[in-house]
């Protein structure tokens, strides 16, 4: 499968369906998360190959802290394994690693690995891989406003552009495309401010089954959209 149109600059992915994938196969939820982590590596690799400049993966929401402690611990362990194993790969491929969210809530060992990975990939020139950890869009907006006030910013003079500088995604382009797997059709608190004009793509495919071919279908669907950003459609002479 080839791509002939415009490649989205920034793609956000809500990776949903690991638990249901495991349940359908009579497997523990942990196995669904493990396979889902392997799938994420595949999609990261493909995204870098086809020229996506920024890929943001919704990995762990603030709401996910409410899950059973055993599942949270398992998810943190998977993240730890990924960061330890993939740091050299990220460096080799020139990928910049960045985390958004309430990083202070993460276990100390995870925070240390996150900081190390961000530091060692900061000088890379390739795709930026953003991992949303302990993240929610509403929480980010509230934190951004608090940062703006704390910095002495005159709230009365605040504009959309200046406010964006206080968001976790400061310096990154807004997402062109948001993908959600597993049949759910909502953003679930993901990049609420940034996705105002993003194209949305929903698929019934569960995340562990969202392979390279599925990703290419999502990109092709995006390429068939007419993005107007509030303007009127462009009409040809024939129309």
Asked whether 143 and 109 are in contact (CB, 8 A), the reply is no
Residue 130 forms beta bridges with which residues? 56, 98
Q: What angle do helix axes 69-93 and 29-50 make, rounded to 10 degrees?
A: 20
Q: Give backbone dihedrals phi and psi of 27, rounded to 5 degrees, phi first.
A: -110, 160
**Sign of torsion over alpha carbons 126, 168, 195, 179:** positive
Q: What angle do helix axes 69-93 and 108-121 make, rounded to 10 degrees?
A: 20
- Report the SS3 class of residue 130: strand
Which of the residues 18, 64, 211, 237 is marked catalytic?
A: 64
Instruction: Please report where in the chains the tokens 């762990």 appear, as a residue.
Output: 60
Six-digit token pair at 11?
Answer: 């793609």
* 154 in catalytic set: no
Which of the residues 16, 18, 139, 176 is marked catalytic?
A: 16
Helical H segments across the chain, by residue range: 18-24, 29-50, 69-93, 108-121, 137-150, 160-164, 212-223
- Cα 92 from Cα 218, distance rounded (Å): 27
* 64 in catalytic set: yes
Annotated catalytic sites, by residue? 16, 64
């Amino acid at each position: 499968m080839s791509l002939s149109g415009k490649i989205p600059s920034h793609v956000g992915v809500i990776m949903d369906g690991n638990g249901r994938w495991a349940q359908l196969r009579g497997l523990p939820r942990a196995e669904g998360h493990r396979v889902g982590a392997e799938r994420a590596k595949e999609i990261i690799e493909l995204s870098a190959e086809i020229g996506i400049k920024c890929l943001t993966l919704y990995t762990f929401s603030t709401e996910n802290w409410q899950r059973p402690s055993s599942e949270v611990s398992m998810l943190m362990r998977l993240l730890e394994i990924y960061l330890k194993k993939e740091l050299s790969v990220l460096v080799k491929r020139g990928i910049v690693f960045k985390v958004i969210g309430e990083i202070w809530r993460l276990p100390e060992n995870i925070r240390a690995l996150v900081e190390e990975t961000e530091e060692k990939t900061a000088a890379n020139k390739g795709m930026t891989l953003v991992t949303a950890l302990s993240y929610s869009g509403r929480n980010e907006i509230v934190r951004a406003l608090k940062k703006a006030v704390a910095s002495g910013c005159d709230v009365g003079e605040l504009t959309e552009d200046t406010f964006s500088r206080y968001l976790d995604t400061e310096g990154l382009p807004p997402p062109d495309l948001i993908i959600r797997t597993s049949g759910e059709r909502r953003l679930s608190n993901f990049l609420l401010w940034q996705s105002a004009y993003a194209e949305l793509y929903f698929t019934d495919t569960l995340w562990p089954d969202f392979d390279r071919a599925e990703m290419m279908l999502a990109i092709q669907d995006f390429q068939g959209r007419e993005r107007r950003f509030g303007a009127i459609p462009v009409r040809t002479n024939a129309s």
